[in-house]
């Protein structure tokens, strides 16, 4: 009687097969499953590695970004040879070498309200490894509409969390979804991204492994998935907590996808600085070459300044209100940060106090590193 597995597969998965609670039936469920991993970054890297190694039969890889030097501190799918290449394509090539017995589909595109339902409908389950609120709500709502389980995780600095949303019970009912836990997103700017706030490199490996564990439990039917529970992990204290989540009767019925940037109060990059005057890095370089009389202010934190700076005067954002006398009022002032977001916020607050001579450096340090000085750290 055929097992449905080749001799090579039986040898590969032998440590699964000898687990009484898992055995060949659990492995067969993994082989028959189709899982979409959204994001190949800090969380997506370990999730993809362990799901591929475990034998998930078909894995979808969705990411529209390219590999950057700053990714290599935590995104263990990639190497220095991959910098500048599409993450989804690199991930597929790496995973095919890890397990040649499974299939991969690459979605080298951004998940949007226009394509989410079509893409997610092709899979049995979604592992959400994204790092921003608009995409988290988009993934959640698409999963609710399609009746798909959403295995969620997030990380920040030293902390991570994991849960299983929209899980379908045997009676056909569904467990809580992301909106039952977070009915509305936080105000824009309140929760910094990993790029702005940082993350301990080992943390996504730990939390991503927890996330992959939940995917395997849901598919194989073993154990108790984190349904109706939110697992919290603090790497600094090595402390864990598990909070209960209940379905919220006030959560609105989700019937269609919306504009999630607008829902989260986030505009495009142009909208962030729409109300302030800007100067490009090329213009700033020209001002310097012409020896124009102007003031350059850096509103990042001291540790960021130590990594890379433009020789501007350091006035961290949180100290600006107490150092107004340091800001010139009789000549042009260029204010910058890493990407242009914090500096735009500073300018808006200063203009409320009467300043009219301020320019935001469009793109910040990142733009200077990309367009002017390739040797500068992108920080």
Whole-angstrom Cα distance, residue 215 to residue 20?
Answer: 19
Per the residue annotation, which of 88, 194, 212, 226 is the catalytic one?
194
Burial of residue 103 (CB within 10 Å: 0-12, 13-18, 19+) is exposed
- Residue 143 among the catalytic residues: no
Are 180 and 237 within one domain?
yes
Whole-angstrom Cα distance, residue 379 to residue 365?
Answer: 7
Whole-angstrom Cα distance, residue 48 to residue 36?
Answer: 10
Are 135 and 95 within one domain?
yes
Whole-angstrom Cα distance, residue 378 to residue 68?
Answer: 10
Whole-angstrom Cα distance, residue 165 to residue 179?
Answer: 9
Q: Residue 4's pLDDT band (boundaries 50, 70, 90)?
A: confident
Cα angle 108, 109, 115 (rounded to 5 degrees) comes to 130
Are 292 and 262 within one domain?
no
Q: For a pLDDT cut of 70, what percent of the chain falls above it?
A: 94
Are 103 and 200 within one domain?
yes
Residue 153 scores a pLDDT above 80? yes
pLDDT tens for each residue of 100-136: 999 999 999 999 999 999 999 999 999 999 989 999 9
Domain that holds residue 344: 270-371
Cα angle 138, 139, 140 (rounded to 5 degrees) comes to 90
Instruction: Tell me the CATH number at 249.
Output: 3.40.50.720
pTM of the model: 0.78
Are 143 and 42 within one domain?
yes
Residue 127 domain-assigned (yes or no):
yes
Number of domains in the chain: 2
Are 96 and 224 within one domain?
yes
Are 238 and 300 within one domain?
no
Q: What mean pLDDT comes out for the span 167-193?
A: 85
Are 48 and 128 within one domain?
yes
Domain end, chosen from 209, 240, 266, is at 266
Residue 158 scores a pLDDT above 90? yes
Are 128 and 38 within one domain?
yes
What pLDDT score was predicted for residue 270? 42
Residue 2 scores a pLDDT above 80? no
- Residue 264 among the catalytic residues: no
Cα angle 163, 164, 165 (rounded to 5 degrees) comes to 115
Domain end, chosen from 249, 266, 283, is at 266
Residue 167 domain-assigned (yes or no):
yes
Residue 242 domain-assigned (yes or no):
yes
pLDDT tens for each residue of 324-371: 999 998 999 999 998 898 999 999 999 998 899 999 999 999 899 889
Are 250 and 287 within one domain?
no
| Residues in Cβ contact with 51 at an 8 Å cutoff, skipping those fewer than 6 apart | 35, 37, 59, 127, 212, 215, 216
Burial of residue 199 (CB within 10 Å: 0-12, 13-18, 19+) is buried
Pick from 223, 221, 242, 239: nearest CA to 231 = 242
Q: Which value, in Å, is the radius of gyration of the alpha carbons in the chain? A: 24
Residue 57 scores a pLDDT above 50? yes
Are 110 and 250 within one domain?
yes
Per the residue annotation, which of 320, 337, 350, 366 is the catalytic one?
337
CA distances from 24 to 2, 10, 21, 57, 142 (A): 12, 9, 10, 14, 32
Mean pLDDT over each residue of the chain, to the nearest integer: 92
| Residues in Cβ contact with 114 at an 8 Å cutoff, skipping those fewer than 6 apart | none
Beginning with the edge strand found earlier in the chain, give each strand of the sheet holding 229-234 in spatial order.
103-107, 58-62, 34-38, 125-128, 149-156, 159-165, 229-234, 239-244
Domain end, chosen from 211, 246, 266, is at 266
């Amino acid at each position: 009687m055929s097992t449905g597995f080749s001799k090579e597969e039986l040898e590969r998965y032998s440590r699964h097969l000898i687990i009484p609670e898992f055995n060949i039936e659990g492995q067969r469920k993994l082989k028959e499953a189709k899982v979409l991993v959204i994001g190949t970054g800090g969380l997506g890297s370990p999730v993809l590695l362990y799901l591929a190694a475990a034998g998930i039969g078909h894995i979808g890889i969705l990411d529209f970004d390219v590999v950057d030097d700053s990714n290599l501190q935590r995104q263990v799918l990639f190497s220095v040879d991959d910098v500048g290449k599409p993450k989804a394509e690199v991930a597929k090539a790496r995973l095919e070498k890890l397990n040649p017995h499974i299939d991969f589909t690459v979605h080298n595109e951004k998940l949007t309200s226009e394509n989410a339902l079509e893409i997610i409908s092709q899979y049995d389950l979604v592992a959400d490894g994204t790092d921003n609120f608009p995409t988290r709500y988009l993934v959640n709502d698409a999963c609710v509409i399609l009746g798909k389980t959403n295995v969620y995780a997030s990380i920040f600095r030293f902390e991570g969390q994991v849960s299983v949303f929209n899980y379908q019970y045997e009676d056909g009912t569904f467990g809580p979804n992301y909106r039952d836990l977070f009915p509305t997103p936080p105000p824009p700017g309140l929760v910094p991204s990993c790029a702005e706030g940082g993350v301990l490199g080992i943390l996504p490996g730990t939390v991503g492994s927890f996330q992959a564990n939940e995917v395997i439990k849901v598919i194989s039917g073993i154990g108790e998935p984190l349904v109706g529970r939110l697992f919290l992990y603090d790497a600094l204290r090595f402390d864990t907590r598990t909070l209960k989540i209940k379905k919220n009767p006030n959560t609105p019925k989700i019937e269609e996808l919306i504009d999630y940037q607008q829902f989260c109060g986030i505009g495009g990059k142009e909208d962030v600085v729409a109300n302030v005057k800007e100067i490009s890095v090329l213009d700033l370089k020209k001002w310097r070459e012409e020896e124009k009389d102007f003031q350059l202010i850096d509103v990042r934190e001291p540790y960021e300044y130590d990594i890379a700076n433009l020789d501007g005067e350091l006035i961290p954002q949180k100290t600006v209100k107490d150092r107004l006398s340091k800001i010139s009022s009789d000549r042009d002032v260029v204010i910058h940060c890493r990407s242009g977001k914090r500096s735009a916020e500073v300018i808006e607050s200063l203009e409320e106090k009467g300043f009219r001579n301020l320019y935001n450096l469009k793109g910040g340090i990142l733009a200077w590193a990309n367009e002017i000085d390739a040797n500068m750290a992108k920080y």
